[in-house]
Every structure is written in structure tokens, then in C-alpha cells.
Amino acid sequence: MTYKELIDLGFKRENYKDFVVFNITGHHPYHLTLTLSERIYDKKDSDKSVEITACFNSDMKCVEVIRCDMESNIMGRLIFTDIEELKDLIKFFGKDCSRSVNEKE
């Protein structure tokens, strides 16, 4: 998985300042994230409401899909190292993976 492939799939870059990392590497770190599902509410039990996001781990070259409850506690996670499997998951949530975001029609 490459940075460009994930950006083309709709992942958003979120920069953050970490001066410990900066002093070691010379640059500030970032996250690549994609919200696969908006908060899913359970009308009967709000504790069962969840949000599902995908985050790129640049050190491990994988994407971790995380399901969190209302308090952002991690309830489950999956690791993807294959871009095609990740595309299948993204399509499952109704996102378009058929073309690059940067392509012209």
C-alpha cells in the first residue's frame, strides 16, 4: 500500500506537531484516515452505538480498521495489508473505489 493509493481512495491527511518525533526525524508526523461509517446509533442502547474508521500505519505499511463506541473506546480492529481487500471493505460501506479521486471525467 502506498501513500498515493490511499489518498486516491479518499483517505484524508491529518498533520500534527510532535516535537519529539521532529527532533529525531526532522519532520512532523501525520495520520491518514477514512471514515467508513458515520456514527451508527442504536436507539435502544446508546452504549452500542459505533463509529468505524480506517487509519494508515506507515511504519507497518498497513491499514487498521477500528470500531469505537460512543466514548471512543476501541471495540474491535482489523488489519489490512492488501490494497484489493481494503477496496472490497470500502465498497462494502458504500464508498466508490472505481477511480482515482484525481482523475478527470
Does the model's pTM come out above 0.75? no
What would the mean pLDDT of 1-14 be, rounded to a whole number? 88
Please tell me what DSSP assigns to residue 47.
G
Q: Angle at CA 31, nearest 5°, toward 97 and 99? A: 15
Domain limits for position 56: 3-92
C-alpha grid cell, residue 55: 487509519
Please tell me what DSSP assigns to residue 98.
S
98 assigned to some structural domain = no
Residue 25 above 50 pLDDT? Answer: yes
40 assigned to some structural domain = yes
Calpha distance 65→86 (Å, rounded): 9
Residue 77 above 60 pLDDT? Answer: yes
pLDDT in tens, 34-72: 888 766 655 555 555 567 788 888 777 889 988 887 777
Q: For all residues of the chain together, what is the average pLDDT? A: 79
104 assigned to some structural domain = no
Number of domains in the chain: 1
103 assigned to some structural domain = no
67 assigned to some structural domain = yes
Calpha distance 46→48 (Å, rounded): 5
